Each structure stands twice: as C-alpha cells, then as structure tokens.
Chains A and B, each alone.
Chain A
Amino acid sequence: MKNTSNKYLIVALLIGLAFHGTSIFFTLETTYDALIHLFFADHYAHSWFEPWNYKWYTGFTVMSYPPLVHQSIAALSLIGGLKFGMFTVAFIGIILFITGVYRFSLLITSNRTVAGYASILAVFSSSFVETLHIFGQLPSIIGISVLMHALPEIYLWLKTGKWRYLITSLSLIAVTVTSHHVTPIFGMVFFIFPLIGMVIMDHSKEQVHALKDVTFRLFFTSFLALFRRIVGFGSLSLVIIIGCILPYWINSKNNPITQVPIPHGSRDNFFEITSSGLVFFLIPWGILLILLPYIFYRYYSKRYLFFGLSITILFILGTGGTTPIPRLVLGETAFNILTLDRFTLWASIMSLPLFGEFSYRFVEGDLKLLIQDRFGAVYHRLAGGLLAGLFLFMTIFTMSLGYFKPSQPQKIKMLPIINFLNQDQHDQWRYMTLGFGDQMAWLSAQTNAMSVDGNYHSARRLPELTTRPIERLENSKFKGVEGIGSLQQFLTTPEKYNLKYIFSNDKFYDPILYFCGWQRLRQLENGIMVWEKLNVPPLSSILPKEDVGTWQKLLWGIIPFLTVLVAFFLNLQMLFVHGLKTKLKPLPIYFSFKNKYSKFSKNILRITHIWSIILVLIIVFGLYQFYIKNESHHSPENAILAYYDALDFKEFEKAHRLINPKSDLSISQYMLEVSVTDGLLSSYAKLDAIDTEILSQTDSLASVKVNTFWITPLEKINKTYYRSLVKVEDKWYLQPEAVNVDLPPDQLYSDNNTNYFNQGRRRITTEQTHHEDVLKQPVLEILTAKLVKFNNSYAIIGEVQNIDNVPADVVLKGTLYNDDNKALATYSAKYHIKHKLMPKEVSSFRINFEGIAWSKIKDSIPKTFNPDEFTPIELEEQPTKFNLQAAGNVSGSDLFKNTSVSISGINEDHITGSLFNSGTDEVTIPQLLISYFDADKNLVWVDHLFIKEGIRQQRKQIFQYDMLDNSSLKIINKDMDNCFVNGLPNKNISDKIVADRIVNHNSEELQSINHPKYKFVKLEVNTYIGNPN
C-alpha cells in the first residue's frame, strides 16, 4: 500500500480556506452570534479567572456558556486584538470542520477517495455555510468538528480495546464539551450510539464473514463481548462531560433557566412561516434533499442501521413545528428551550459521507456506468451539470442571504458612542441601545460602561426580562406586546437601574421615549440619537455580584485550555504521521469493512428520479400559489392588501401603481401628499394585521371596509378605512383618497419663544462639577394628589405645577402603603403627565401601578400584540396611603406649547373637537390629557388619548375622544401630608412661594359634560415634535 497524501483533502483544505477565509471578513461580523462570542472573549481577555461580568443585565456570570472558544479568542486577542482572535478561531474552525468531515467519512466509508470527495463537498455544504456565515456559531462548529475527529478514535477503542484510543477519544470529547455543551450531549445520542451499533455490527460480521448472516442473537453476544468497553467509554466520557465544565453545571443548577421560552424560527410550522422553512430547513438540507432516498437507503443498510435510525430522528426533529412529532418526542419543555435547527445541521453533516459516496459513484463509479448505460452519456453529463449547478446555487444563495436580506442593521460606527460614554463620566450610569441588533455586543465589548440589556438571554436575571419571551430589549419592537411592555418598564422607572442614556438607531422608539419622559441630548456623528433621562442617580461604586468558589474559578480558567493542550499532545504523533507521512502506518482497522462500489441499485436510481420529479412539482406548485396570492390586481382584496403592504414598507411607487390610473394622480403629486402627512400612524406604525370585508361589489366597482391593525410604540391602533375600487382593463385599482386641502392663512409668519441653555460645567475639567455650576432644582408644587381605585387597579392622580421661574422636567414617583405603613408598590408617572413644564404651568397626572406583566411564568401570554397593555399590580394587601415624590430638574428641551384645543361637540359617549397648531414646528404626535371632575369640581380621574395624525403648522386636526364608561371609581385617600418636592415637604414649599394660592382658580373654565358619573372635564395638550426645527 503506497502512502500518499490525499489530494482531495488537500484540495478541500486549500479551497475551503480560500473561499471561507476571504468571505468571512464580509460576513462574520453581521451574523447573529459572532459578536456575542466576541463580547465573552473580551471578558476573558480582561479577567480570565473572574467569571462575573457587570456589563450586561445588571451583572451575570460567564459560567453560563462553555468557555473554550471565548478563551481562545481572548488569548489570541492579546496578539492582534479581538477581531484578529475571532477570525483566527474561525480559520481553525474551518480547518477542523473539513478534516473532521474527512475523518468521519473515512470511518463510515473506509474509502480515502470517497472521504476526499466528502471533504470537498463539506467546504461548500450549505448547512456549514449557513452556520458559519449567517449564524456565526463558532463554538457549535468547533464542537461538532472535534466530535467528528473523536469518532474514529472511539471506534478504534471499542473495536480494538487499545487504551491509547480510549485516551485520545476522551481527550477529544473534553475539547468538544469545553467548546460547546450541547454538542457532546446530543452527539452521544445521535453520533456515538449509532457508532457503537456499527462497531457491534462489525464485530459480529467478523465472526460470520458476511453481514447478512448477522443475526440478532449474534449481535447481542457481540454486544456483551464489547459491553465493558462501551460502558467504560460511556461512563468515562460522562465524567469528562461533567467534570471539564463543572462550574457550568453548578451554575445551571443554581440558576435554572426559569424564563418564558423565547420564540425561535426553528420551532415554527415551516409551511405557515415560509421564511423559517427556508432558513431552517431548505438551506441546511440544500441539494441533500434530492439525495434523501439514497441517504436513507444507504443508512438503513445493515451495517449503518443505527445511523439510519439516528438520521431519521434528526430529520424529523429538525422539522420543528411543521409536524407535531418533535413536540411529542421532546416534550413541551425541551421543545421550547432547544433550538431545533441544530438537529438539521447534524443530520446534514451526518449525510456528508454519503453525499461524498454518491458523488464518487456518480463521477467515477458504478452509478456513472449505470446512468450511461441506461440513459446515455449526454444525460449523465446534463444531470451532473444540473446537480453541480444546484449545489453551487445553494451555496451562493446561502452566502448572499446576509447581503440581500440583512439580519442586522447597517454597520454602526462605534467610536462616537464609545467617546460619548468615556466623556464627562457618562459611564457612571448604565446605558441601553435600541435598534443596534447584535452589534450591541460589539459596543459592550469596547466600552467599560454597563448596559441594562444584554445579548445572551440564558443569563438574564431581572424578572422584568425573564418573564418576557424577548431576547433583548434592544429589538423589542419585533417582539410585540411583551417586548414593548418590558421596554416600557425600564423607560418608566430608569432610576431603579441607574439607566440614564439610550442610544437609538431606530426612529420607531422615539415616541415612547418622549412620552416616558426622556429627552433628546444630541445626535452623534454616526447618526445615533442619544436620549437622556434626568434625575437618575449614578451607579454606586460597589455593585452586587454572585461569587463562586476559587476552585471553580481556577477550574474554569485552566481546564479548557488544558484539554486542548492534552488533546494536542496526545494526537501529535498521529498528526505528524498522517500529515508528513514520516513512517508507514498500518491502515486503521475500519478499513477492513470496505464497501464495494460495483453495482448501484437500479431501484434507488428510479426512486431518486421519481423523488426529484415530486420535488420539482412541489416547488412549481409553491411558486404558483405564491404568484396567485401576490398578484396585486387579481381581486379587490389583493389590491387592498398589496396597497397597505406597500404603504407599510414605504414603497410609495408600488402603492401608486395600485391607484386608479384614470384618476390623474401623478406619482409626484402622490408622493407629495404622502410626504406631508406625519404622525403616529404614518411615521411610527407597523402594520400588524389587516382584514378586508367587501361591502358591495359589482363587475367594475367595489367598496371595501378595511380593518387595519397597526403596532406603534405607544399603543395598538385599529383603524378602519372605507375604500372604493374600480376595475380598469381587467385589473382592480384603488380610488385615491381625499387629501387635506386646508389652506393656512399665512405664507410666512414669525413666532417668539424663550429658549434655554444649560452650560453644564462651565470649566473644562475632569473634576466633579463645581458646586456653583449646579443649578437649583426647580420648585414644583403638588396642587392635588389622591389615591383612587378605578375598577380593580390603583392609581395616584392629581395636579402638579412648576412654581419656579425656569422650565422643569418633572419626575413623579408614587409609593403605596397599607395601614401598617408597609410599602406595597412603587411606580413612576408614564404617559399621563406633561413631563416638561414651563414656569407656572400645570399638568394633571396619573401614576399607574403596573405589575411586572405576566410575572408568573405560567400566566398565559396574550397572543395578540398590544403595546398599551396594562397589567395592574397584584397587591397582597389593601393600599390605604400613598407617598408622592416630585423631582424637578431644569430642562431646556421639548418646550413646544403652541397647540390649542377646542371642543366642538359633546354627547353622552364622546367629545369631538379640534387641535390647532399655531407654532412653527410640526406636531408629530399630539396627546390629550383629559381630567374628569365630579359635581363639586373635584378631580377624580385622569385619562389620555394619543391622536393618530400629526398637526402641520397653522392647521387643524380633528379628534374624537370616547368618554369613560360608568366603571367603579373610589377615592381612597386625599391626604397630601406625604407629598414631597425635591425631597422637601410639599406644604412648606407651597406656603413659602405661593402663600395666597387661589384654590380652584379656573374651576369655571371646566367643560361641563353630560355623564352620569362625571360632570366636568378639562383638556390639556402635550405634543411630541419628531423633527424640531
């Protein structure tokens, strides 16, 4: 036997490194996971032995993820920086994967050429490309690769019983488990168990010389013969799996993942959510789908029988929620925790040896002969071209997916943010990012400042986070009610988390930030808007942490690298012998179980053909369905759906193509009309659902009632449109809607305003701000405050006035107490207040006491989206008293007050009227605060209304407010003794500054209403300006 290098393997390595090695620089940083691993690596680079990390989630332990890959990146980062480390590890991963597939294929097929083929195919395999270039799962890749390297060693140990193989296999298992914990556990089940089966089969075969003579009885005796080796290996590897990352298991036990499952695309029904089907099924399987009959046929042959069972289970589990089987097999809990895409990945990797085998037989083996014999050489070439084309198409398609459908927002330049955080002690507070995607991890890695958010959801600790199925607050808009609800809690009570700065990369969140009392600080040069909240105390210098024993820290810091070193030295000899061919080595024992590739089964060829035809039919049918559903002029419903879809995505040209072409509405006019409408609905809403109801339809005319459901950051909006459609040249079109033609009286007008600027510190110094540069807190006065019970929820309502001479930002914090003065709940005013008050301005307010929504994990989570969802807090005892803390801080921003409100009609149910904007800024979102009074003109309740459309300058906007129904309302306590302003008793302040206050001063200006319970209302306006001049 000549001992030559395997040309194919070398080619695979060269191509693999060239192909992935170059493209990785364009893909890896935009993947889902890579930057998270980079963040962990940054942690190890700074504190190798200290597992506690303060930067995310108000502190978490990195012992929640196996450390090897992160530590490797960290070690390499000392040479050339974090990214150098990450790319180097990725290179190592690529090499390990290709060689791993080679060794695994060699083990399965005992044929060096076939294994070479498999290694080349592995380079381009779409599942590998996806895992590396789209998901960026480096630990997973390294884990499975090392596991594949371990498989031949395990085989040899079981077959020969030589101790050195036991040791090498265990050393490789150790490396696997320190890089990825799930891989060896499931690897045991899906790779090693079938391998054991194969060994027993081989052992049995040796005794009867032909595989078909192996009986169950013989198999069983072989099993008994090998039993000690199997059990020995099994128990030792269990010890390794537990021992090498013992701190991880201890941590998992101490902090069990008791959180609401986070939805994952791999658990979807792939027929319903086709995008998940594409990403988690079609792409990883790729061309292997065509070869499924061959793969199953081969794996169900007697020797590989257990691999056949294994791949069948993997295949089924990988289908996620498409069939009920995975849920039944795994059970509800495991199904909701595991991401099922890994099963498909392993199945596709398991198929690679057979893919190689098929290719070998197709290119130069018996299959080629068979096809040429039956269909001619031309057909063989065509089929080959087609298969190769499809294979490459899948690779390129997968590779470019991140380019055409970016999973991440545009790359953000982090330097301005890092500089901002380093300046002026901004890192003494926590920050949060919005709309950064996974790039938030990269920001965290670069700054010392801490975030309340994080990107590794298994490590979340705050109940506000763990009770919601959201991975990050950061992208909460994609997570519906749970997301925005969770975000709201952080925005309303930021003092609790020392959260002062928010970096927003997404305009969508602007309204919620504004109405929760945040203000814009400035736009950084990378376009990121910085929002800040006043009255937030800085972080204390000592923060709590959960410490673990020193032995755990040492184990965690030393063992992973040690496993690599041990594995390296143990396998060193083999590496040299294999790589450099220094000496002739006997072939491994599995080479004695070679397949003969002499006669390709005709049936399999036939089934593959039929299967391919079925696949083609399915694809054609799918495309046809897709076309019918999406042909926008096909029916009135289609036209409506397409139109609102286009509006939702701001594709105005596409929307214009659906407008009646005979209506003489030019695209430029249409764009103009669209562009002048601003407001909650047109600028901040995302279409959640739409349903259409045909009111009447003739051949050429149709009236459609369109119920649209929009998600906005503030609330869920249901809006009903009545649209007319016409049929022109057999195509349905929408009639254009009337636009507001109101003509403002002035072409040019002026407006005078008082502007304010706070210098901050007047000296350029890094010292603490000089005391004389600290502004006095504006004095507020709480005019009224009472604790009321409305239906079943408690609230503090009242009025607050800025009695100072400077504008104030107002923060109101209420606490409820019971008769025994036990504090029951604390919350801050959210939407029901004007957060910015001019001197002497009054605002009504209401503080709702929100519980942590769905605080019990078992509580059913509503399926529908409602950002305005309110969960009243569950109080164990009856609140009877309250404490109200008002804090004023000088603020010069968001002081637009030029909106007036007029009531034009009142009936039992609602109030209609209009808002008029007399200022020079366009009002993006107007908000009405409605205070209700009883017959004696006592304030009893405060409500609010967001108006969906904005108000342009010198224009009116009509509104309709639905009054409260007759629900129960009870005033519990009106005692204002426990009201404090800037820490001082409210009464002292009011006595000092406005001693002769005129009580109920404007009570004659209250609007009387016709309501059984409430007799008067007062309207106030609060406005959000999206684009201040």
Chain B
Amino acid sequence: MSFKYLYIVIITMTIIISGLNINQDKDHNSYSLITNFKERTAGDNITLEFAFQGSSDVFLYCSNSYGSIMLRPKLGKTLLFEIPKSISKKSGILNWQLHSDANLMSGQLYIRPKSKIETLETYIGPPSIEAGGTDYTMLVIVPTDNLDNPLADSTKVIIKHQFLETHKRDIIYTEHGFGYKNLYAYKENGRMLISSECLGLNSKEYDVNVMPAIPTNFKILADRIHSYADGNQITTFKTSIIKDRFDNTVSDGTFVSFYITNKTGHKSVTSGTTIDGIATAKMIHPDQEEQWTVKAYIEGIANSEPITLNYEQAVLDLNISFSENNRLITVGPLQSFMKQQVPNGLNIHLKIYKDDALVHQLIEQSVDGFGHFKLYADRYPKGTYTVEIKTAGLTKSFADIKL
C-alpha cells in the first residue's frame, strides 16, 4: 500500500519540476537574491539586491504594517531595490515579492525596533471604579522608540501606584509590543495615582477615582419647629450617614426618596441628595391633625426603618358669620394653637348646594385670620341654598341660607 503513495508523490514531483523547467527554458530569465540579511533595525537603509539573467523589467512589491509600495530597481549588473524610509522605519515583518508578469520570488525580513526608548504611550481606563476589590482599571503601556515603533517584546516595565498609604511597584514585561496591568480597587474609596517606568523613562501621572460602592441600610430622623399641623412650617427629614458595605461614605449627590403615608393612606414623596452621606428632604406641615409614617429608600439598594410623626390640630374652632343679606360669608377669626391668627394662605373650601345639587365650589385663602366669600347676585339668584365650609380638617354646613 505504502509504495502506491510513494509512486504518486514521485510522479507528481516529476511533473511539477518538469513543468517548471519547461517554463524556465522558455523564458531564460532567472533571479536570485544576493542580499543575505534577514533582520535590520528600523531606520537603517535597506536595499535588496538581486542577481539576474534575462529581463530586467521587474518590480518589487513591498508590504508591511504601514502600507504597501511598488519599487522599480536601479539597474546595474544586479537589480538594486532601495526600500524607502517610510517603510523601512516601521518595525515588524516586511514582506516582499519580485514580480514581472508573474510572481517570480518572494521573501520577508524582520525590522527590529530600536533599542533606545523615546516615549511611553500609556492608556488607562475606566477613570473611575468602584471600591470593593472586584472592579479594576486597566493600564496599557506601549514603550516606543524615536520612530514610534513599539520596543521589542519582553521589555521590562515598572508600574507604580499610590493609594492612601499604599505605594506599590509591579513589574511586567511587554508582549506583542505592549504591556498591561489590571489595577484592582481597594476597599476604601479615594484616588489612585498611577505612573509607569521603562528603561529609565517615566510616564506622566494618571489618576483613577475609586468611588464608594452601593449604599447599605440607614436610619432617618425628623426635625421640626413645632408639632402643630399649621400647614405652614416645614419638617426636615435627615438620614444618618449612609455608608457602603466597606464603611465608605456614599458619594455626594446620592438620591434618597422619603415616602410619607398619612392616616388615610395617601402618599407623599419628597427627596434629598446626600452631602457627606447625609440626605436632607423637606415637607410642609399638614393643615389638620395627622399621623405620618415616613420611610426612606435608595431604590432597589437600601432603605431605612419607618418612623412615625404626629401632628396636633392647630385650628380648633371654625367661626362663620353671614352679612349683606347672606351674600357675604366671613370665615374666622381662624386661630392657631396660641390663639394667634393662622398665617395667611390657609385654604378654605366653600361648596354651595341648591336642592341637594352642587352649584359651585370656591376656594379662598385666609388673610389675617379671615376668609371672605362674596356671593354675587347675578351668579346666585334669589333662593335657598345650602352652604358647606371646610378648612383645616373642620367642616361646617348651613342649610336653608336665603339669598
């Protein structure tokens, strides 16, 4: 069996070789490379020399990482190709092919980068990472020679960084022209300063911010001028200092929502953003007796325990008088918890019914402790009406008011 394969190989080789011979016999052209180096340093003058017989009408196609070019030879006894600087100064593999009508021969040579460093190309990202030891930033260093070629592989690069009290040096070696290092975050937040060094050349300073991780649960408290429901003063809610699980204070601006539920189950929401870990939110007092349950959230991440706040009724009594043939309704004096006038702007609702049907609804605001409703004759023609007045959670109704 194995002989069979041998025969096939031999016959095939014979055919190929004889074919080539026939070709060469036809053309009488032959070329051979005289230059015998396989490596050069970037920036050197590179010439390729070919001995030839027959036609000199050939060109050299060169291609490397920078681009491709076609060269015509300088004719003498040999064919001399000068590789232009734009190609010869780029390190890496330079492929060449000698062409006439057909591809005659090809080869490659390696251009070494220079061994002297000129610059350190450095990239770092992302510029901010999360504390905790899992998030990292990546530093990439490309030491280059003065022709902008990356230095030879396995060049030693020292990576230095400082974080709080820590100073560290790491040694890495370049591979494929560059070296890289993943710098992991520490448990504390802060700023990491990073630089690198290669062959005595130091890079500029880079910095990466290590930001706090996500917040953990916290407490809230309320702060108020008094505990009366006067509809005017403001209650301030505050959180404790919100920290992440590594005890770092969360970054400024962290958004905290405070949900307030009142006695009747109606919701209110106010919000604040943290400064030094403390978020502050404000809410105006209710205008009637109320119990608030307040709970704060950093949605999906952390929350507080609920707290309860009680507001006492401030306006205790509702005085209403009718004048000008019942066409002027005066509400008041509205007195707050020390019998002082309620601050201006307490809403007073008036509902007017005729034959049990709501005719009109008016809202007035108190001024100097009083609210006035004027029932114009053109709007409310003569007749009997029912009047309902509501303010500060108090309601009074008057049936059979004759206008």
Contacts and interface: CB of A to CB of B under 8 A. Distances in A.
Contacts of B257: 1002
Interface in A834-852: 837-842
A992 B274 CA distance: 23
A419 interface: no
B344 A743 contact: yes
B295 A839 contact: no
A1008 B266 CA distance: 8
A897 B271 contact: yes
A698 B300 contact: no
Given A775-B127, A903-B267, A997 B253 contact: no
B8 interface: no
Interface string B353-376: 000000000001111000000001
Contacts of B299: 801, 840, 842, 1001-1002
Interface string A683-706: 000000000000111100111000
Nearest to A702: B378
A806 interface: yes
A530 B223 CA distance: 42
Given A696-B378, A900-B269, A754 B252 contact: yes
A580 interface: no
Contacts of B206: 772
A697 B378 CA distance: 6
B364 A738 contact: yes
Nearest to B209: A805
Contacts of A218: none
Query: On chain B, which size bracket covers the interface?
Result: 35 or more
Most chain A C-beta atoms within 10 Å of own C-beta, residue among B275, B298, B303, B377: B298
Contact of B269 (A802, A994, A1019): A1019
Query: On chain A, which size bracket covers the interface?
Result: 35 or more
B125 interface: yes
A664 to B, nearest CB: 14
A776 B127 contact: yes
Most chain B C-beta atoms within 10 Å of own C-beta, residue among A698, A743, A783, A807: A743
Given A741-B344, A741-B365, A754 B233 contact: no
A839 B214 CA distance: 10
B282 A900 contact: yes
A1002 B259 contact: yes
A1027 interface: no
B232 interface: yes
A839 B345 contact: no
B297 A771 contact: no
Given A740-B365, A801-B299, A840-B299, A807 B270 contact: no
B253 A838 contact: yes
A805 B273 contact: no
Contacts of A1007: 266-267
A994 B378 contact: no
B251 interface: yes
Contact of B266 (A746, A838, A902, A918): A902
B268 interface: yes
A752 B124 contact: no
Given A842-B299, A998-B300, A753 B273 contact: yes
Contacts of A1005: 259, 261, 267, 269, 295, 297
A774 B125 CA distance: 10
A747 B336 CA distance: 20
A525 B188 CA distance: 45
A772 B122 CA distance: 10
A742 B252 contact: no
Contacts of B367: 741
The dominant DSSP class at the B interface is strand
A606 to B, nearest CB: 57
Given A754-B273, A775-B127, A1008-B265, A743 B253 contact: no
B173 interface: no
B265 A801 contact: no
Contacts of B135: 992
Given A838-B273, A900-B268, A805 B251 contact: yes
B283 interface: yes
A536 interface: no
B214 A994 contact: yes
B195 interface: no
Interface string A987-1002: 0000011100111011
Interface string B263-298: 001111111111100001111100000000001011
Interface string A741-773: 111011000001110100000000000000110
A772 B281 CA distance: 36
B301 interface: yes
A903 B266 contact: yes
A475 to B, nearest CB: 39
B300 A918 contact: no
Nearest to B253: A754
B386 interface: no
A898 interface: yes
B215 interface: yes
Given A746-B234, A918-B270, A994-B301, A741 B345 contact: yes
A582 interface: no
Contacts of B177: none
A900 B252 contact: no
B232 A901 contact: no
A337 B273 CA distance: 57
Given A900-B282, A903-B267, A994-B214, A1001 B303 contact: yes
B332 interface: no
A742 B268 contact: no
B130 interface: yes
B232 A897 contact: no
A905 B232 CA distance: 20
Interface string A888-903: 0000000101101111
Contact of B365 (A742, A756, A913): A742
Contacts of A702: 378
B254 interface: yes
Contacts of A772: 124, 127, 206
Given A838-B253, A997-B301, A743 B345 contact: yes
Given A703-B376, A724-B379, A1002-B257, A898 B212 contact: no
Contacts of A906: 266
A1001 B365 CA distance: 39
B128 interface: yes
A375 B143 CA distance: 107
A391 interface: no
Nearest to B273: A838
Contact of A698 (B215, B253, B256, B378): B378
A1005 B273 CA distance: 19
Contacts of B273: 753-754, 838-839, 897
B365 A904 contact: no
Contacts of B381: 696
A1007 B299 CA distance: 16
B126 interface: yes
A308 B274 CA distance: 84
Interface string A604-621: 000000000000000000
B211 interface: yes
Given A753-B273, A805-B212, A1007-B267, A701 B255 contact: no
Given A742-B344, A746-B234, A901 B269 contact: yes
Given A724-B378, A916-B270, 13 more contacts: A695-B379, A696-B378, A701-B378, A703-B376, A738-B364, A740-B365, A776-B126, A839-B250, A840-B298, A900-B271, A993-B214, A1005-B295, A1019-B269
Interface of B: 123-128, 130, 134-135, 206, 211-212, 214-215, 225, 232-234, 250-257, 259-261, 265-275, 280-284, 295, 297-301, 303, 343-345, 364-367, 376-379, 381
8 contacts: A703-B376, A703-B379, A742-B344, A754-B253, A805-B212, A806-B253, A900-B281, A1005-B297
The 7 closest A-B pairs by CB, nearest first: A742-B345, A900-B270, A918-B282, A902-B268, A841-B255, A805-B251, A696-B378
